[in-house]
Structures are given as structure tokens and as C-alpha cells.
Structure 1
Amino acid sequence: MTINDSRNLVLVLGATGKSGSRVAARLDELGVPVRRGSRSAAIPFDWTDRSGWAAALAGVDAVYLSYQPDLAVPGAPAAIKAFSAAAQLAGVRRLVLLSGRGEREALECEDIVRGSGLEVTIVRSAFFAQNFSEGAFLDYIHAGEMALPNGDVPEPFVDVDDIAEVAVTALTQPGFGRVYEVTGPRALTFAEAAAEIAAATGREIAFLPVSRTEFTTALLSYGLPGDVVSLLDYLFGTLLDGRNSGTVDGVRHALGRGPKDFADYARDTAATGVWAAPATPELVGAPE
């Protein structure tokens, strides 16, 4: 499929998420017809309700598949297998799967889509840089203290804009259909990432190393659902144990340029104001 094809509707799953929203926006910019797949969309898509999948897939040529909440959760391989079969039945030709580095379950899902009969590209991603600004760790930045386990383990955080650009290229241009493992250009510890954000914002962002037990206990005390806490504990206990610390050249191989550095991400994100410390009552003129 190229952007000049007459039947080039792309279904973007997870269209309200970090990567899916960017993929959909870039396809819009290219003039590629997009169907946004989410529970609130005009044609709803819900991973837990397969009765709506046929309608979401009708007339679709390519799919960006981002599984929520993560390919590592129980039931993900079964859902991916059922969706791949539904996509093949609907006449979909091309599928781009967002996968994760070092996840046994993600590798199982990769094998499933490869056996679907579709033209498959896999974008196997490192930990998102945007988790510090759009996800689980934003509240830590606002508070000025990041309390996490595995603070001394390097991770080559990847900018989600790079992921989206690789995915859109694979969705719209010929010659893909392989695995692109994508990382940032260098690995940083979470403590070093906090220091980069502090430098970009001009704020003090401390890093506090904690045990996994302390981490999960704190998350539960904040009211996070147990399944979310279990997923975060899994990520820090397995994927963020050093196995994924190495950098790779997937972004360069796909796009012909290097990936965005974390310092550039931090600078650009700081300029949006999203990391500004929340105003205190005194600062907004509340009565004493």
C-alpha cells in the first residue's frame, strides 16, 4: 500500500494512547484515511467485545495494532490471535504491531501475527520517554521526587514520535515487513533521566531509590488498581532489569536518521509547561 492507493483506509488501534494518537495524526497529515479505534470512536473498538471488530475492520487495508494495556498481560496472545484472524477475514493486507523488548509474551504475539498471512511489520520498542510526561511518572515530576526501583539500571528510552514515524512509514510505504527494534541513542538510568528533566525544567527533581515492595505498596496506597500495579511491578522486575539496556539502530534503518535523544525530548517537553510544578493555594491567591 502507498498513499496513492484507492483503498488505503488505516485502522489505528489505541488511537487515544501515546503512540496511536501520534500515528493517527501523522496519517492525517499525509492525507491517508484513518479510522480511529477506541471505545469512544464513531465505530467503537473494544478488546473485550469482539462483536464490534468486524465493523471496525470493514474496508480497512492496514492496521496499526497497539494492544492495551500491554502485550505482557494475561489473555493478550489469545486476543491477538483472534484479531489477526478477523483482520485476515476482513481483507486487511498490512499490519504493524507495536511490541516490547524482552517480553516473552510479546514475542509470542509477534509469532502469532507473523503466521496470520498478512504483511507484518513489528516495531519492538524500548521504554517510552513519554512515560515521564504523559504516563505513569508525570505525578513524580510534579512532586519533584521520583521514587522508583532499579534506579541504577540503564534504559535507552525511546521518543514516541520516533515510534510513530517508523509505524507510519511501514503503514504507507512498500519494502517494509520486518522487525524494527527501536531505542534512543543512549541508555540512561532513571536517576539520570530525572537529572535531565531537572536540567530542562530548572527545577529540582530528586531520585529516591526504593524496593519493589515499597514501590508497589505506595502505588496501592495511592488507589491504583491492582492489575495496573501488577503490570508496573512486572515491568520493573523483568524488563527493567538490564536485559534491554543496549541500544539498537532500528530508527536509523527505518527512517535513515538517528533517534531523538532524551535530552532533546526533555527540552522540548519542558517548553510545553507540562512539567511545571502545580500551583500552591498561596500562589493562586487562596484565602488564608
Structure 2
Amino acid sequence: MTENTQNMTVVVTGASGRTGSRVAQAARGAGLTVRAASRARGFDWEDRSTWADVLRGADAAYLVYPSDVGAPGAADAVGRLANEAVALGVRRLVLLSARGAEQARPTEEALRESGADWTVVRASWFAQNFSEGPLVEELRLGGELVFPAGDGVREPFVDVRDIADVVVAALTSGDRYVGQAIDVSGARLLTFEEAVAEVGAAAGRAFTYRAVSAREYGAHLAGFGLPEQEVGFLVELFESLLDGRNAHLSDGVRRVLGREPRDFGDFAREAAAAGVWKG
């Protein structure tokens, strides 16, 4: 049963990020009042004193940890925030997690132990990672993506708008998805080389993909000044997530929304039309 969303207020963490911005947009479209939680609005995951003012009086919250749900410190931060939310009467919590990531399980467990009415949305690799964030400049300026996804490893890239729609459905469907983990993916499997080729075709440019090992990529990141602990975490994450374990489709989008996931080719054409990869 769908809840009456009139006067329902949802806190959206990461409201300026890839998923948070779409969750906020989808929530407003569903008639919810959105309370954006970001540093620009006084919310800081690392400063517990900023949490209560954002949470107090809300009905629900979307939680996305800023670096990664499996990152060091994520389980502690999410668990503490979830406990504080429940204490303030915000029991309905939806957490973004990563499909196939064992590193994310402690964070999911911390949410479950909070006593919240929880839902976990486990997403595959974002299609929008090719159009937003650090990978974009490599393609736009250099025409090549160097990444540790191996040769032939397939991934069902998911459109973040589908993630947002699933999150909002979970928030507004009463207890239908409480206590559940929902795996979401895109409509078809692609290697990173194939995905880059589709992006290039949409952009009218010859883009290429070059696979490197996770450790080579970690050394590349360290050269840009990324902290050693973060580099180590990313190397471990890429070595596990990009080993082929996620080379399968999930039915979460179809099961929750009653439709097929958006296709990667449609995403690429829309982003190209917006000029994302113009040189």
C-alpha cells in the first residue's frame, strides 16, 4: 500500500551528489517535502552535532555515505546516525549500498541494528560514472579511460535515475519493502570497453579503454595525492568488485517499479546531447 505523501518530509543526504540529487528530484515529484542534508546546508557526516537539526521533525531519510558505504568509518557513522534518527522519531531509513561488495555488509548491519524500519538498495556500477565525476575528464580531454576493470569483465551499468525511483518507491510504499535488500542493475551486461565504445559513438568521438591492474591504478591515484588508507581501500574494492562477480542482472527495478531499467545506450545519447564529452 502506498503511503499518503502529503506533508511527508524526507531528509536526503548527499543531495548534491549523483544519487542524492536524483532522489531529491524524484521525491519532490512524488509530492514529498525534501530536506537537503549537505555541508552547504550545515550537515556533516563527520560532525555529529550537525545531525539533530537536520533530522528533527522529518518522517524518513535517504542515507548515502560520501566516499563509499564500505569505506573505513562508514559503518560507525551510518550506525550512529541511524540510532540518532530513530531516537528523534525518524524510523524510515533507506540506505544506498553496493551490489556484491562484502566491504559494505558491516554498514548494512549497523543500519539493521539501529531499530529503524530499514531498506537497503544495492546498486551496480553507475552509468553516470561515465558522465559525472573523475572519469569524465579522462574521456573528454584524453579520449581514453584507464581503469582496473580487466578485459572482458561485464557489468550491468545502472542509471542513477532508476536508483532514485526505487528509493522513493521504498519510502512511500508503507512497510512493503521494510527489512529488505533490493538489488538494482541496468538492463544488459557490457564490458567497460563496450561501454566506452557506446559513449564514444554517442559523442561522435573515438574513445578507447585500457585495462590496468587495481594496484597499478592505486599507484596512479597515490600520485595524485590520495591518502594511503583511501588508496588501499579502493585497491581492495576494485580487486573484489571488478572480478566478474557482478556479471549478472538483478530484477529490483522491474520488481519495485513494474518496468524495465533504462538502457545504457539511452543514457549515453542523452549525456552526449547535453555536451558532456565535448572536447
The TM tier, using the shorter chain, reads: over 0.9
Change (3 A) 1:138 1:230: farther
Deviations 1:82-113 (A, max 9, x none): 11110110001311110111222322222222
Matches for 1:52-71 after TM superposition, within 5 Å: 52-71=50-69
Residue of structure 1 in register with 2:169 after alignment: 169
Matches for 1:81-100 after TM superposition, within 5 Å: 81-100=79-98
Residue of structure 2 in register with 1:16 after alignment: 16
> How far, CA to CA, are the matches of 2:87 and 2:103 in structure 1?
24
Change (3 A) 1:232 1:132: farther
Matches for 1:188-199 after TM superposition, within 5 Å: 188-199=190-201
Residue of structure 2 in register with 1:2 after alignment: 3
Residue of structure 1 in register with 2:267 after alignment: 265
Aligned residue for 1:67, secondary structure, equals coil
Pick the aligned partner of 1:251 from 250, 253, 262.
253
The answer to whether the Cα contact below 8 Å between 1:128 and 1:159 also exists between their aligned partners in 2 is: yes
The answer to whether the Cα contact below 8 Å between 1:102 and 1:239 also exists between their aligned partners in 2 is: yes
User: Given the alignment of the two structures, is residue 235 of structure 1 paired with residue 233 of structure 2, yes or no?
Assistant: no
Q: How many angstroms does 1:37 deviate by?
A: 0.5
Residue of structure 1 in register with 2:183 after alignment: 181
The answer to whether the Cα contact below 8 Å between 1:183 and 1:250 also exists between their aligned partners in 2 is: yes
**Could you tell me the percent identity over the aligned residues?**
48
Q: How many angstroms does 1:30 deviate by?
A: 2.8
1:271 partner amino acid: A
Residue of structure 2 in register with 1:218 after alignment: 220
> How far, CA to CA, are the matches of 2:275 and 2:232 in structure 1?
31
> How far, CA to CA, are the matches of 1:122 and 1:265 in structure 2?
24
The answer to whether the Cα contact below 8 Å between 1:77 and 1:112 also exists between their aligned partners in 2 is: yes
The number of residues matched between the two structures is 274
User: Given the alignment of the two structures, is residue 114 of structure 1 paired with residue 100 of structure 2, yes or no?
Assistant: no
User: Given the alignment of the two structures, is residue 276 of structure 1 paired with residue 278 of structure 2, yes or no?
Assistant: yes
TM-score, normalised to structure 1, is: 0.90
Residue of structure 1 in register with 2:158 after alignment: 158
TM-score, normalised to structure 2, is: 0.92
Deviations 1:211-232 (A, max 9, x none): 3333222233344454554443
> How far, CA to CA, are the matches of 1:231 and 1:131 in structure 2?
19
Q: Does 236-245 or 110-119 show the bigger shift?
A: 110-119
Deviations 1:126-171 (A, max 9, x none): 0111111112310121110111223321111111010001001111
> How far, CA to CA, are the matches of 1:29 and 1:247 in structure 2?
28
The answer to whether the Cα contact below 8 Å between 2:150 and 2:242 also exists between their aligned partners in 1 is: no
2:113 partner amino acid: G
> How far, CA to CA, are the matches of 1:219 and 1:238 in structure 2?
18
How much is the aligned-residue C-alpha RMSD, in angstroms? 1.7
Q: Does 250-259 or 20-29 show the bigger shift?
A: 20-29
2:128 partner amino acid: Q
The answer to whether the Cα contact below 8 Å between 2:6 and 2:31 also exists between their aligned partners in 1 is: no
> How far, CA to CA, are the matches of 2:220 and 2:115 in structure 1?
45
Deviations 1:181-232 (A, max 9, x none): 0011212111111111111111000112223333222233344454554443
Max Rg structure? 1
The answer to whether the Cα contact below 8 Å between 2:75 and 2:110 also exists between their aligned partners in 1 is: yes
> How far, CA to CA, are the matches of 1:109 and 1:228 in structure 2?
17
Deviations 1:230-270 (A, max 9, x none): 44323321111111111110100010011112111111111
User: Given the alignment of the two structures, is residue 201 of structure 1 paired with residue 186 of structure 2, yes or no?
Assistant: no
Q: Does 147-156 or 117-126 show the bigger shift?
A: 147-156
> How far, CA to CA, are the matches of 2:136 and 2:29 in structure 1?
28
